[in-house]
Amino acid sequence: MRKANDKSLKEAIEQMLNVYKIKRRFDETHVIAAWPEFVGKSVANRTSEIFIRDRKLFVRIESSVIKNELVMMRSQIIQKINDEAKAVLIEEIIFL
């Protein structure tokens, strides 16, 4: 039986991440790890570098054809990432 002030493990972890102001960094790390889920494995396999700085996702893609396709899908990818994070983590994607 849970008491009124009891928290689930998920709630406690989220509170800790917020208190120590590391939630954004944690979420950004998740975005990088989940890149194959957002764009598919074939695109992820052609991604040679990916990092986040100042709400910008920097991605180096080895194939110019795939890079052009991703440029066209940029806003959908940003939307997917932010929807999953339930926050505005990414405002822009820059292809290197």
d(CA 29, CA 72): 24
**Cβ-contact 38, 50 below 8 angstroms:** no
pLDDT (average), residues 10-30: 82
Residue 18 pLDDT exceeds 90: no
Flag whether 2 is in a domain.
Answer: no
Q: Which pLDDT score, from 0 to 100, does residue 40 have?
A: 93
Flag whether 3 is in a domain.
Answer: no
Residue 58 pLDDT exceeds 90: yes
Strand order in the sheet with 56-61: 47-53, 56-61, 92-95
Dihedral (C-alpha) 64, 67, 72, 75: value to the nearest 10 degrees? -170
Flag whether 1 is in a domain.
Answer: no
Flag whether 15 is in a domain.
Answer: yes
Number of domains comprising the chain: 1
Residue 65 pLDDT exceeds 90: yes
Helix, strand or coil, per DSSP, at residue 34? coil
Flag whether 25 is in a domain.
Answer: yes
Instruction: Indicate the pLDDT class of residue 16, thresholds 50, 70 and 90.
Output: confident
Residue range of the domain that includes 21:
9-95
